[in-house]
Each structure stands twice: as C-alpha cells, then as structure tokens.
C-alpha cells in the first residue's frame, strides 16, 4: 500500500466560472488559474502522483505552457491515474477537505463525491468530501484543498499481457 498527499489553493475572481471536483457550482466568482482552477482536482492529482513518487502536477502540466490555458482539470487527473496504474496500483480510497468561505459546499458534497469517484473509476463510498470555512485564517478570497489517497497493489487478473505491454511502452516513451 502507498499513501499520497496533495494540497492546492486558488484565488476567487470575478467573471470566472466556479468548478470544484469536476462539478460546476453556481457562484458570483470562480477560481482563477491557468487551467479551470479546479482546486480539488489539482490537489487530488498531486496526491496520486505523490503516492507513486511520480513528481507533481507542475512537472506534467507546466503553467508556462499555453496548451493548458483553461484546460479541464479532469485531463490532469486522468494522466495521474495512468501513472498510478502503470506503477501497479489502484485507488483504495480518497479523503479530502475543502477550506473556503463561500459558496457552501454541503449541498453539493454528494455531487462532488459522485463526480470524483466517477473520474477515478471507484465507488462514491471510497471518496470523502468535507468542507470547512477558514476561521481566523484570513483566506476568505481563496479556496484551499487538502487530499490524501491510499493506493493498494492492483490484482493482475483484469490486466491482459497485451495491455501490460502497451502500458510499459507508454511509460518508457513518456516524459
Ligand atoms: Zn491548482
């Protein structure tokens, strides 16, 4: 088993759509960032990469690269998940805490939980989504996410030899 941890923060800005955990939330501000600013998916991506010692989100998707401007953060997560699978692991469970003043996450937590589980190919009860307000932190204009993941060794039964070979090929040709 392996554990991974990720953290991210983004600033709220006018005229930007808000997306957290792959879910669009109605709010008068969104999270500024080079991509879609999805703070939860970024922390989750870093947690997955960290769990298999594969570096971090910035190494895979440099903010200096115009290619990632406005990008759907689900793409980042998919690449991190591929790294996890290539290392021979599967996601056992995820736990997360969001820290933001507004909007209230409670009413949307179930939807975020379901979407994150869908993106990871696991069940909703393997994804924890918690939220707090930043009491005394002075970070009311930001959203912060902390994520931990637990990985378990993948059982080989589902993976065909051909699939394994192509996975190895991709790994050796990747950056
Ligand atoms: Zn980010």
Q: What is the pLDDT of residues 13-70, one digit of tens each?
A: 999 999 999 999 999 999 998 899 999 999 999 999 999 999 999 999 988 888 888 8
Please indicate whether residue 74 or residue 64 has the higher confidence score (pLDDT).
Answer: 74
Please tell me the predicted confidence (pLDDT) of residue 69: 86
Burial environment of residue 81 by CB neighbours within 10 A (0 to 12, 13 to 18, 19 or more): buried
Specify if 116 maps to a domain: yes
% of the chain residues with pLDDT over 70: 89
What's the structural domain count of the chain? 1
Specify if 64 maps to a domain: yes
Specify if 67 maps to a domain: yes
Ligand 1 centroid, distance to 8 Cα (angstroms): 5
Ligand 1 centroid, distance to 37 Cα (angstroms): 6
Specify if 121 maps to a domain: yes
CA–CA separation, 10 vs 167, rounded Å? Answer: 34
pLDDT average, residue stretch 84-88: 97
Ligand 1 centroid, distance to 99 Cα (angstroms): 14
pLDDT average, residue stretch 150-170: 66
Please tell me the predicted confidence (pLDDT) of residue 141: 97
Specify if 174 maps to a domain: no
User: What CATH number does the domain containing 100 carry?
Assistant: 3.30.1330.50
Taking the CB of residue 74, how many other CB atoms lie within 10 A of it? 17
Specify if 73 maps to a domain: yes
* Domain of residue 51, residue span: 2-169
Please tell me the predicted confidence (pLDDT) of residue 64: 87
Q: How many CA atoms lie within 13 A of 35 on its CB side?
A: 23
**Letter string b/e over residues 154-168, b meaning 16 or more CB atoms within 10 A of that residue's CB:** eeeeeeeeeeeeebe
Specify if 122 maps to a domain: yes
Ligand 1 centroid, distance to 57 Cα (angstroms): 9
Long-range pairs of 66-69 with CB within 8 A, sequence gap ≥ 24: 68/34, 68/35, 69/34, 69/35
Ligand 1 centroid, distance to 76 Cα (angstroms): 10
Ligand 1 centroid, distance to 35 Cα (angstroms): 8
Please tell me the predicted confidence (pLDDT) of residue 175: 43
pLDDT average, residue stretch 3-20: 97
Question: How would you classify the pairing of strands 89-99 and 127-132?
Answer: parallel
Ligand 1 centroid, distance to 34 Cα (angstroms): 8
Ligand 1 centroid, distance to 159 Cα (angstroms): 32
Specify if 54 maps to a domain: yes
DSSP calls for the chain? -EEEEEEEEEEEEET--EEETTEEE--SEEE-SSSS--HHHHHHHHHHHHHTT---HHHHS-TT-GGGTT--THHHHHHHHHHHHHTTEEEEEEEEEEE-SSS-SGGGHHHHHHHHHHHHTS-GGGEEEEEE--TTT--TTEEEEEEEEEEEEPPGGG--HHHHHHHHHHHHH--
Ligand 1 centroid, distance to 44 Cα (angstroms): 10
Ligand 1 centroid, distance to 33 Cα (angstroms): 7
């Amino acid at each position: 088993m392996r554990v991974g941890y990720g953290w991210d923060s983004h600033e709220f800005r006018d005229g930007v759509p808000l997306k957290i955990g792959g879910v669009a939330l109605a709010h008068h501000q969104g999270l500024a960032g080079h991509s879609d600013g999805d703070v939860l998916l970024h922390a989750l991506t870093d947690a997955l990469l960290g769990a298999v010692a594969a570096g971090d989100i910035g190494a895979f998707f440099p903010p200096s690269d115009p290619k990632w401007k406005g990008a759907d953060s689900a793409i980042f997560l998919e690449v991190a998940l591929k790294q996890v699978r290539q290392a021979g692991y599967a996601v056992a469970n995820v736990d997360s805490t969001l820290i933001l003043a507004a909007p209230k996450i409670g009413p949307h937590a179930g939807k975020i939980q379901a979407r994150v589980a869908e993106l990871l190919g696991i069940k909703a009860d393997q994804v924890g989504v918690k939220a707090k307000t930043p009491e005394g932190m002075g970070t009311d204009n930001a959203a912060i996410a902390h994520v931990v993941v637990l990985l378990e060794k993948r059982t080989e039964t589902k993976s065909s030899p051909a699939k394994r070979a192509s996975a190895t090929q991709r790994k050796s040709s990747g950056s």
